[in-house]
């Protein structure tokens, strides 16, 4: 039996999700149907494509060879769609971006809205996860990360640097002992990440600060910001997030300032997909502009206590 593209879609979904249930969510099919489709495909080819176990579906040697061909077919279809939709001058279809919580919450919504304004028919999905997005399994078309990956068939482009500072609410600062030097930080209640859920060393901000271990913790930078807004304590915040909240001030900016970077990571095979190339170029440009704009607001409004 010659597999058709619909068969390949099911095969790719299972290979990437490593489970029938995960593939079913992607395909909007129930797991039993996905299982029957894989069984039919294997019977038609006369070879096992997966090793099945209670832990999930793992590609067999034959499945690994099939994966290469299926991804080539997927690429060819994407290129064909590119040629058709590119004639109209607009980027169309769905594009999914994976990003860390801070970028996903405070930068990407307005950036992606502007890109969609220029491209009617474009659907942008922002995937915010407390871990690195797996592009090899096609969890997303591209990802913004805070560290450049050093493994896998990926392309990496630096987008921009961004700044982080200690911050607290006005009310917290008024009711607490004065903070004039880094030594004054001891004894203050702090906000930070759950230590064993820090998925990238670049997010371990408090290891660089002479401050007490955090007592109010979350794997989400947005939750941490809300702790700070509610006068709960001190924390490290992105400068680009501060314009979205009121009465939260940077402190000790002349003594403590952290710099991190955003990188755009893509699957190497997608370099030929013009639709994704155009979107990536606009995304990089818009993120650079937006981070610079938001950081400049802090300087213009002098939202700093020293």
- Of the candidates 70, 85, 100, which is a domain's last residue? 85
- Residue 224 sits in the same domain as residue 279: no
Q: Are strands 142-145 and 258-267 parallel, antiparallel or unpaired?
A: antiparallel
| Residues 100 and 198 both lie in one domain | no
Q: Both 192 and 301 in a single domain? A: yes
Average pLDDT over residues 172-200: 93
> In this model, does residue 303 exceed pLDDT 70?
no
* Alpha helices (runs of H) in the chain, residue ranges in sequence order: 5-17, 20-27, 31-45, 61-86, 101-106, 108-118, 170-175, 221-229, 274-301
Domain C-terminal end among 68, 85, 102: 85
Percent of the chain with pLDDT over 90: 56
* pLDDT of 302: 47
Q: How confident is the model at residue 240 (pLDDT cuts 50, 70, 90)?
A: very high
Number of domains within the chain:
3
Q: Is the pLDDT of residue 300 over 70?
A: no
pLDDT band at 306 (very low <50, low <70, confident <90, very high): very low
Distance CA 300, CA 100 (A): 27
- Report, as an integer, the average pLDDT of 241-269: 93
Model confidence at 152: pLDDT above 60: yes
Range of the domain at 220: 162-258+297-305
pLDDT digits (tens, 9 = 90+) for 193-205: 999 989 889 999 9
Tens digit of each residue's pLDDT (9 = 90 or more) over 9-43: 898 889 888 899 988 888 889 999 999 999 999 88
Structure tokens at 25: 């969510």
Q: Is the pLDDT of residue 235 over 70?
A: yes
Question: The domain spanning residue 115 has which CATH number?
Answer: 3.40.190.10
Q: Do 301 and 208 share a structural domain?
A: yes
**pLDDT exceeds 50 at position 78:** yes
- Claim to verify: residue 282 and residue 248 sit in the same structural domain: no
């Amino acid at each position: 039996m010659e597999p058709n593209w619909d068969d390949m879609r099911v095969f790719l979904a299972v290979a990437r999700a490593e489970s029938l249930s995960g593939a079913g969510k992607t395909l909007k099919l129930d797991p039993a149907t996905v299982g029957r489709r894989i069984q039919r495909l294997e019977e038609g080819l006369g070879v096992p494509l997966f090793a099945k176990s209670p832990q999930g579906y793992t590609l067999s040697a034959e499945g690994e060879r099939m994966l290469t061909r299926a991804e080539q077919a997927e690429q060819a279809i994407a290129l064909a769609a590119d040629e058709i939709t590119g004639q109209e001058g607009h980027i169309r279809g769905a594009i999914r971006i994976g990003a860390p919580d801070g970028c996903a919450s405070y930068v990407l919504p307005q950036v992606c809205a502007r890109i969609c304004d220029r491209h009617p028919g474009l659907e942008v999905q922002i995937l915010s996860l407390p871990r690195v997005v797996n592009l090899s399994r096609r969890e997303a078309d591209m990802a913004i990360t805070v560290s450049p990956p050093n493994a896998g068939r990926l392309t990496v482009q630096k987008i921009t640097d961004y700044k982080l500072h200690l911050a607290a609410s006005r009310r917290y600062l008024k009711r607490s002992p004065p903070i004039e030097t880094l030594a004054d930080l001891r004894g203050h209640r702090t906000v930070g990440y759950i230590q064993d859920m820090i998925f990238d060393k670049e997010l371990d901000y408090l290891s660089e600060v002479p401050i007490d271990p955090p007592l109010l913790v979350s794997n989400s930078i947005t939750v941490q910001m809300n702790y700070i807004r509610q006068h709960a304590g001190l924390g490290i915040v992105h400068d680009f997030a501060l314009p979205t909240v009121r009465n939260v001030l940077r402190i000790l900016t002349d003594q403590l300032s952290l710099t991190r970077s955003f990188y755009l990571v893509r699957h190497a095979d997608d370099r030929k997909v013009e639709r994704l190339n155009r979107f990536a170029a606009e995304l990089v440009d818009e993120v650079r502009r937006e981070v610079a704009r938001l950081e400049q607001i802090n300087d213009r409004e002098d939202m700093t206590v020293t």
